[in-house]
Structure 1
């Protein structure tokens, strides 16, 4: 007799090819509507599933894990970041956690560069002018932005995405600087033509663009706090495609409003979709709805990683993208 298939609960709608393949391989419960599960719905899913497939919109903390059924053995996260999952508590309860690293590197780096260009070249202001029918023709001093070539970019977090941003920035003629928990090997620095700063404060004070590309951990919460933001040059801009919690959003808003920072491009926010309303009022800010990974190719590749992690686990092996507390 064929063995019983794993029970898999998916918390959000996923791309159609991913959902179809999940249904072919496992006993899957899919969502009919694309909205986050409520806390009670998550608790129910944890009680009935062998494998849960959550996303960044699902907070799975110790209290929820305490309600999980004994059959729950794997949380196969659809996404690279796992700061919304209490990995340590899951491990204590014998539940493995996996993620989908690597597949979104280029997509997120592309979006970081798009935000840099949009802010520095004042693209949204020009777009708004055209959409409102206010353009009356070319003028020598209208909507003057800045040239990217020759500007210094300070990359906060030099992992895969940070390095991809560095390569793109260098192609635009920018001078690449970085701060990271660990310095890169000399050969990698040479290839990227990147200058390392042990002191984040010293780097921030000298850059024209700050690109936030580090993960969200307890040690990076408000890494760009009010004190550090005040070190930035008045004509500098900040771009964040990583996690909103790394930047003190209220302090950033105050400084942008006061003209103490020239501009910002944000794809992530400290309180999820609850964006500071004062940010929306500013013409020197570009706001995007967490689009960094939003490519067809990237989202399908994320699903393929989820499938591989679940299938490997089902076959009795360690998921290739297992996350353990020591990695965080």
Structure 2
């Protein structure tokens, strides 16, 4: 039996699947595991099932030892994993794409509605106990029908968000590093543009690109200034894709109309400038937070680990 270390709490069904074949050391504490404890626990591991809260770097890989075969990340994003360090040590790195597509797209579109229709402001007003009265100009928002959604990163989640937008009567433009299946663009009646044009024509910009050096602060002061003053920015990808200092300033100065965020530059810290503003909807990284999705993610991560330990190709290797 191989030794599998699970770095955080995951659904029990995935733990049971791993335990059926291997010796499993699963962290069960109420909070994220501390770094020193993590380095101690991974020693001698053949497989590590990691959460996005853990940094998988050369230090961690060396602490595990040369017998380590696989790091199975329970996330579609893998900016917490030094993939090149894994490759150099012959360690297979995997992730969990596909199974969280619809859940994350639901949150993205939920944030679009929250931002454009000022739902967060309305909910806070009711809970505050302040007096209010219906009126023709009370908490007016913006409609979506006939407006343009700009999707930055037209992978699975971007496509699923675009489908939801089309159902609401929106036009779709997108920016992507590569061409997508023409049947999808035809289905969505979507037009590929560069980022500059996307920012200029979109009424809502939704971010779905992976995070890395090329996308760090992809959206900063210059890009926000290029957007319509009536436009909204939504981010359900990774926090550092957006320069939060610049975003807070743009929202305060009404350079753009509003924003919806599920991810942050320094999670779980939220930029204090954002907390002071009413024209931004803020969620605590809920993109994949459904029972069904988190279970599917954990089960796919377990399948990835089990495949590598059996000498087989994992279902979802990181290219």
TM-score by structure 1 length?
A: 0.94
Going from structure 1 to structure 2, the CA distance change for 1:28 and 1:194 (only over 3 Å counts) comes to: same
Find out whether 1:316 has 2:314 as its counterpart.
no
**Cα separation, 1, equivalents of 2:311 and 2:181:** 36
Deviation at 1:135, TM superposition (A): 4.0
Which segment is superposed worse, 294-303 or 67-76? 67-76
Could you tell me which residue of structure 2 aligns to residue 291 of structure 1?
Answer: 286
Stretches of structure 1 lacking an aligned partner (at least 5 in a row) = none
Distance 1:188 1:139 in 2: 42
Mapped pair 1:31 → 2:45: no
TM-score with structure 2 setting the length: 0.96
Q: Per-residue displacement from partner, 1:218-268 (whole Å, max 9, x unpaired)? A: 211111122111101111100000011111111111111111111010000
Q: Does 1:52 align with 2:40?
A: no
Structure scoring higher RCO (CA < 8 A, sep ≥ 6) equals: 2
Of the three residues 165, 174, 177, the one matched with 2:173 is 177
Task: Give how far 1:316 is off.
Answer: 1.6
CA positional deviation for 1:64: 2.8
Counterpart-to-counterpart distance in 2, 1:54 and 1:135: 48
Runs of 4+ in 1 over 3 A off after TM superposition: none
How far apart are the structure 1 equivalents of 2:133 and 2:247? 34
Mark the runs of 5 or more structure 2 residues left unpaired by the alignment.
none
Structure 2 residue aligned with 1:141: 137
Aligned length: 319
Q: 1:301 to 1:7 in 2, by over 3 A?
A: same
Aligned runs of 1:201-280 on 2, under 5 Å? 201-280=196-275
Task: Label 1:247 to 1:136 Cα distance change in 2 as closer, same or farther (>3 A).
Answer: closer
Query: Judging changes above 3 Å, is the alpha-carbon distance between structure 1 residues 22 and 32 closer, same or farther for their aligned structure 2 residues?
Result: same
The answer as to whether partners of 2:18 and 2:24 remain within 8 angstroms in 1 is yes
Q: Which residue of 1 aligns with 2:277?
A: 282
Q: SS of the residue aligned with 1:294?
A: coil
TM-fit CA distance, 1:66: 3.1
**CA RMSD, Structure 1 to Structure 2 (Å):** 1.3
- 1:19-41: CA deviations, max 9, x gaps? 23333332111123132222212
